Every structure is written in structure tokens, then in C-alpha cells.
Amino acid sequence: MEQPAVQTDRKPSRRFWLWLLAIHLIPTLLVAGFLYRIAYAKPTIAVDYSAKLTELQRTLQGMPADAFNAWDLISRRSAAVEQHQHTLLTTRFSGEYQYNDFLLLVDPTARLSPAESRESVTAATRKTFATYEAAGLFEGLEPLVDAKYAVATLAPGPQFERVLPEVGQIRLVVRGNLVRMKAASDEQRFGDRAAILSQNLAIARHFTAQPSWVERRAAAGWTMETLEELRRQIIESPPPADRCRALIAIIDAQTRSWPATIQIEASRASVLDIIQRSFTDNGRGGGRYLPYEYDFTSSNLGGFSAVSDNRHEGWRLKNLRGLLTPGRRETVDLADQHFAHLYYLFGLQPPSSASPPSLTPPDPARVDANPILSRGFLPRLDRLIAEEAGVRSEIAGTRLMLLLEIQRASAGSYSAALSAVEVDHPGSTTDPANGKPFAYSLLENDPGGRGYLIYSLGADGADDGGREDQKDRRACYLPKQRTASDFILNHPRPPTPTADAGESPESPQ
């Protein structure tokens, strides 16, 4: 008897399909959830760096709670200058008034645009300057001279290189004071000249106490411009010995700028603030990079807050790139290495909370591979070091020129070598930029009326015969110079160009 055939084409049961669906769906959901969690991850803003930096300013300056804050006066003057600018532009601007920074009135070789007539611009500049003077914008700054502390209160928000609004307005005050300083010298009002010199150097001193490198660099520029104007006046009308001593006392009192600790700490805080706004935080120092959050943070850098967050939600998928980039811990470590090296270069000890000074900078390849640090948030060391060296060199060189006048008043003529000054004032002939003496030689029948030539050898300490870099006179202070060059300290005031070529004449040697 035949056996029935075995059924082999039975359909899979519903349970089988459910298991099959689960096997495929569960991993898919897990992956989707994982990706969603990454895409919609949020940073944790745990530290208010603006408040920390404001408090750090007070701590580093040793400022008592009830002390006079010079920044209050600076802020009020800045607001008054801004209001005056607005008044000129809205009610009196008719072509004869023109906005500029008054440098043309003390340096007739200041560059103009090719379309501008030097004579017309100079006339407009004088009229504009007269309105500032009539408004009293250069008066009432005497309290800044004796003030010891200046602390700007920072508003909340991303802290990267926050530029204080006072920089642009106070620059007009400083350069307007250069015009007043020249007029006082020409009219032999030497007491007024000394007062204006004190005010300009005091303003620069207070700006060196502010967090951003922008304020410190502005202060360096104002100090160098003010001292250059003084050196020109020394050439034009050599002061007697007692007046030289008074000017040296002013320079010594007002050029003792604050160390760069606050700027280094502010830069470090800026980078850490960007990091905390651009990474997740796992509570153990680690976290993932969030490009979506960084894009929003970067649009608000400098303290300007966006009106609304109108980013497209689909852009959150950019956060997936964070899986392929260095994490939070490595980014913080690299930043700390950079700033520890910066402390070393400036010869400073960091606050106890920071890393100790480090001779070795972070590996450039690791920095370049980092999505945050490679975006230019770390300060450029070469320019910072060059400006610090340049300021110290010009302060020492200006003092030395005044000491040479004291020596001339005593001996009847300039000495053949700086050794005569060195005997009475040890260390005064040494250039802080390189540790070597300033270069010095006597001149005869100099067209500029100088009795001698004195110049800095720059960062390399090599004597290039007083040859300067024609594009950037202070390039000689760069650690890696573009060209071999020096910096002449006693340039006479350049004559007004006869043609409107916009080019400065070559440096007199």
C-alpha cells in the first residue's frame, strides 16, 4: 500500500515573520536612535567665563571693591566721542567735515586714497579736530594718570576675542592728543606737553589691563605713536636737563604696563568657552564634537547674540562628523599645551589653576587636525612677541635719548659713544629687544638737525647699518624676520610731500 507524500511547501508561520521583522527592525531602530541621539545632542554650558574673567581682572590687579575704576571714565569718554561723531555726520557734515583719526596732522606722510587731495583732507582734518577740541573731548582725563585700576565688566556670551567698543573711540582721543602735544611743544607750553604725554601713556597702561589681545595691541600702538611724537619733539627742540628728567619720570611711571597674564587667561577662557559650547560633556572630561552647535556659536562670537535660532533641523546631521574628529578631552589638552607654552614665551607664571609653563608647544599636526583649534582661535605668537619687544625697545630708546640730552647739557656736546651714559646710568643703553646695546654714531650737518643716529638692532641683534624694512618698520622685532633690518629711533619729522603720490619718503639714515 502506498504511503502519502510528505508536505514540504508549508508556508512560514506568522510567528516566523514577526521574528524576522524583529531581527531586522530592532537593530535598525537602535542605529536610528543612536544617530538621533548624536544628531540632537546638546552641549552643557556649565561655566560663565565672562563673570570669571571680570573677577580675574580684579584679582590680578589687586583692585579693592571701593577703588576708583578708570574704565568708567574711559567708557564715558568713548560714548561722548561716539555721540560727537554721530552729531557731525547727521547735522554738520557738508563736505568740509571729515571723519579721520588726526594722525595726518602730526605725520604728513600718512597715506591717503589716490582720489583724495592731501591739502583738502588736511584742511578737513583740522576743522574736524577743532570740533572735537571745542566739545571738550580731550579734557577731563587727568584722573587717569594717577588711577591704579581699570576693569571692564564683560557681558555674557561667547568670549572669543571680545573687542571692547572703547578701542575705536579712544584711539581718536589718543591721536587727537598727539596733535595737542605737538602744538604745546611748538608753543613752548612744556607743562601742557607733559600732561598730555602722561594722559596718553596712562590710557595705554589701562588698556593693557583688559582681557583681549586687541586692547593690548592697541595700547602698544598708542604707546609707540606717543613716544615717537616725543622723540621728534626732542630732535626739533632739545629739552634742558631738568625737563628731560621730568619726562623720564613720566615714562617710568606710566609705561609699567600690566603683564600679559590677563590676556593669556582670557584667550584660554575664550577657547574653553568655544569648546564647552561645541562639544557634549560626559561628566568625565570627554565628549563629542558638535559641528551644528559650533556653527551657531561661531555666528555669535565677539559678544553679539543672534536674534533667533532659525537653523534648519536637517543640519543637525552635521553632528555625525563629530564621530570622526578629536574629542573634547584631546582638544582641551592641546589648548592647555598651547597656553602653557605662551606663558613660557612671555616669561610668566600662570595662575595656580592653569598648567605650568611649558618649553614645548603642541604638535602642529595635531592642532591642524583639530576642528576647533585649527580655526584660528589660538593667538598668533610671532606678532604678539614682536609688539611686546617693540614697545620695550622704544621705551628704553626714548629714555636713552633723554639721557643723551642730559649728558649733552653737562658736557656741552654729545659723547662719541654710549659708554659715557652707561657709566652714570647702568643698563640704560641696553636694548630689551635683544640684550645688546643700541647702535649709536655721531652725525655732522644732518639735514634733519640731528646730532647723532640711534637705532635698535631688532630681534636678531645684527647690525644692518640702520636699514629699515620699508613696508613695516617694526618687522625687525619679529622672531623670524622677513628681511634683515633695524629700527631707527630718532627719525626727524618728515616734510609734507610735494606730490600727492601717497608714498612715504625713504627713511633718513
Do 399 and 496 sit in the same domain of this protein? yes
Task: Write out the residue range of the structural domain in which residue 174 sits.
Answer: 68-257
What are φ and ψ of residue 437, in 5° steps? -65, 150
Do 121 and 238 sit in the same domain of this protein? yes
Domain boundary among 204, 233, 257: 257
Residue 60 lies in a domain: no
Residue 56 lies in a domain: no
Residue 26 lies in a domain: no
| pLDDT for the residue numbered 76 | 96
Do 236 and 171 sit in the same domain of this protein? yes
pLDDT-above-90 percentage for the chain: 43
User: Does residue 440 sit in helix, strand or coil?
Assistant: strand
Residue 226 lies in a domain: yes
Q: What predicted TM-score, i.e. pTM, was given to this entire model?
A: 0.84
User: How many structural domains does the chain have?
Assistant: 3
| Dihedral over Cα of 27, 32, 35, 40: its sign | negative
Q: Which of 448 and 97 is assigned the larger pLDDT? A: 448
Do 364 and 414 sit in the same domain of this protein? no
Do 394 and 372 sit in the same domain of this protein? no
Do 324 and 423 sit in the same domain of this protein? no
Do 79 and 223 sit in the same domain of this protein? yes
Do 337 and 391 sit in the same domain of this protein? no
Burial grade of 3 (CB within 10 A; 0-12, 13-18, 19 or more)? exposed
Domain boundary among 359, 378, 397: 378
Residue 43 lies in a domain: no
Residue 283 lies in a domain: yes
Q: What is the mean pLDDT of residues 30-34?
A: 68
Domain boundary among 257, 286, 311: 257
Half-sphere exposure of 315 (CA within 13 A, CB side): 11
Do 216 and 123 sit in the same domain of this protein? yes
Residue 292 lies in a domain: yes
Do 430 and 456 sit in the same domain of this protein? yes
Among candidate residues 467, 464, 442, the one with its CA nearest the CA of residue 452:
442
Do 85 and 217 sit in the same domain of this protein? yes
Which DSSP string corresponds to 348-416? Answer: -PPPTTSPPP-SSPPPHHHHHT-TTGGGTTS--HHHHHHHHHHHHHHHHHHHHHHHHHHHHHHHSS--S
pLDDT digits (tens, 9 = 90+) for 440-476: 999 999 998 899 999 999 999 999 999 998 888 888 8
pLDDT digits (tens, 9 = 90+) for 272-309: 888 888 888 888 888 888 887 777 776 655 444 443 45
Do 73 and 216 sit in the same domain of this protein? yes
| Dihedral over Cα of 334, 335, 341, 345: its sign | positive
Residue 240 lies in a domain: yes
| pLDDT for the residue numbered 54 | 86
Residue 489 — pLDDT band, cuts 50, 70, 90?
Answer: very high
